[in-house]
Structure 1
Amino acid sequence: MSIPSDNPILLARDFGPDALTLAVGEGEIVALPGACDEGFLRALSGADPAWPGGLWLQGEPLHTLRPAARLRFAHTQCAVAPRVGKLLPELTVAENTALPLILTGLGRQEARRRALRWLERLDAAACAEWRIADLTPSEMRRVALARALVLDPAILLAEDPTDGLSAPERLHLLRILRAASGTHGLTIIVATDDEDVLRWADRSITVKVKTPAAEPANTELAAEPLPAPITEPAAMMNHAAHGGIPHRIGRHARGEHRFSPVGSGAERGR
């Protein structure tokens, strides 16, 4: 076990079927090489109450909370970057990024303003009105990260954020994330085997995780309903949802991306 501070922002103890112990300090960038995936990151964020063991987030013992309360608290503190395949092709980049805010009930104008702010920080503002199919792989990655960060979480968790990118694109993305960590106090946890990412992180912790078997439903906890999922998020943007639309990757002859510094920490509003 390695604990970087007396008061880690995230602490897992005897967590999961492998009894993992992990501590991450505020503002730290930690890479997790090994058999980690998005499911493990979701569990580590507190979004999956089925995993056994102790989990503390900002000092709050999530393992003692009921599922709905645990999920609500986790969503205010952590964000798991979605895979690019989860971006909605019928929405523009700005609408995809603003969607998490819209789902919380925030007005569209303010949600769009915050979405554009994060797109600018991640050097993706130029494609705000494009559809997902018109983006390069690098732009898709940055839009997915913007959608996770638009809620201004304290912790960002991402699986293979540089997968499929060229060496210059990987370094560009990592520089942007390092700036976000430095100016916003953002803690970043990435599951990856990319050597560039492992060198970029403050430290690496090898984790091998077995997915726990599904447990029988707890009738006592089932009395508290979890938040209902949004089945047609595109309809909230006045778009008709089109099922089965393939994700085409269109490449455009554009010049080098310009790096935009991340805004001040005060802008996080926390």
Structure 2
Amino acid sequence: MSIPSDNPILMARDFGPDAVCLAVGEGEIVALGGSCDEAFLRALSGADPAWPGGLWLKGEPLHTLRPAARLRFAHAQCAVAPRVGKLLPELTVLENTALPLILTGLGRQEARRRAVRWLERLDAVGCAEWRVAELTPAETRRVALARALVLDPAVLLAEDPTEGLSPAERFHLLRILRAACGTHGLTIVVASDDADVIGWADRRIEVKVAAAAPAAEAAPEPADVPVAAPITDPAAMINHPARSIPHRIGRHARGEHRFSAVGSGAERGR
């Protein structure tokens, strides 16, 4: 269990299969060590209501909210930096960064203006009109972070933001994030065992997260239950498995006949 924060903005209690307990203070930078991954960070952001336990974000008990309300609140307050592969290669850097704003209904011009602002803060505005394939690994990391921060969240969660970068590139990225934390009151939670990240963070919390259980395989259909094939020939209806379903033939306004199941479609509610 982590040292409780005096002013927690994000708190988990008996969270997940391993009953994780942690508290992150507002404006704090915390490094999570151990087996944390992006799936755990998404759950910690409140985006996945399937995880058991208590979860509080800005004092709001997310575990008591309905899934839709929980998801809306989590998306407004938390951002999980996408993996590099989640950037869309067919879009420019600027379009990738502005996309989350456009999906919320914001106008394209305002979305592009805000995207440029975050690209400037993360030292990536020089490649705004480039495609993802033209970026270096360090530039790609900064663009992924800009895309996560463009919604101005209170909490940023990221998995291994410095993975694959040179020492100079790691130092540059961490310096930029530290500046964003100070100027915007941003709280940052990173899952990383990188010594540079651990030294950069205000605090390190060792977290053990169990691997997710494999999804149960779907039960095979009984062999004696026939699967209805599409009807391409009206004569095939004679021996079709669905012949026992009651149907009604109605006349369309233009004189054609319409064949529909009773109680489906327009029949509902009558």
Normalising TM by the smaller chain, what interval?
Answer: 0.7 to 0.9
Match of 2:84 in 1: 84
Cα deviation for residue 190 of structure 1 reads 0.3
Match in the other structure for 1:29? 29
How do 1:47-126 residues align onto structure 2 when only pairs under 5 Å count?
A: 47-126=47-126
- Alpha-carbon displacement from aligned partner over 1:94-143 (angstroms, at most 9, x marks no partner): 00000000000000000000000000000000000000000000000000
Aligned to 1:129: 129
Counterpart-to-counterpart distance in 2, 1:3 and 1:196: 22
Which residue number in structure 2 is paired with residue 174 of structure 1? 174
**Structure-2-length-normalised TM-score:** 0.78
Counterpart secondary structure, 2:106:
coil
- What SS class does the counterpart of residue 179 from structure 1 fall into? helix
Structure 1 contact 29–188 (Cα < 8 Å) conserved: yes
| Whole-angstrom distance in 2 between the partners of 1:50 and 1:3 | 26
CA distance in 2, matches of 1:29, 1:35: 18
**Structure 2 counterpart SS, 1:55:** strand
For the 8 Å contact 1:50–1:214, the answer to whether it is kept is no
Could you tell me whether the CA contact under 8 Å between 1:7 and 1:25 is conserved in 2?
yes
Q: Which has the larger radius of gyration?
A: 2
Instruction: State the alpha-carbon separation in 1 of the partners of residues 96 and 105 from structure 2.
Output: 15
Q: Give, in whole Å, the separation in 1 of the partners of 2:165 and 2:153.
A: 25
Q: How does 1:137-152 map to 2 (within 5 A)?
A: 137-152=137-152
1:126-171 deviation line (CA, Å, top 9, x unaligned): 0000000000000000000000000000000000000000000000
What is the percentage of aligned positions where both structures have the same residue? Answer: 84
The 3 A distance-change label for structure 1 pair 2 and 62 is: same
> Paired residue for 2:204?
204
Q: Which amino acid aligns with 2:210?
A: K
The root-mean-square deviation of aligned C-alpha atoms, in Å, is 1.3
Cα distance in 2 between the residues matched to 1:33 and 1:2: 12
Q: Verify: 1:163 aligned to 2:173, yes or no.
A: no
Corresponding residue pairs, total:
216
Instruction: Give me the whole-angstrom Cα distance separating, in 2, the residues matched to 1:94 and 1:134.
Output: 13
| Structure 2 Cα separation of the partners of residues 44 and 190 of structure 1 | 12
1 or 2 for the larger relative contact order (CA 8 Å, sep ≥6)? 1
Deviations 1:68-118 (A, max 9, x none): 110000000000000110000000000000000000000000000000000
Letter in 1 for 2:43: A
The TM-score, its normalising length taken from structure 1, stands at 0.78
* Structure 2: stretches of 5+ with no match in the other structure: 217-270
SS in structure 2 at match of 1:33: strand
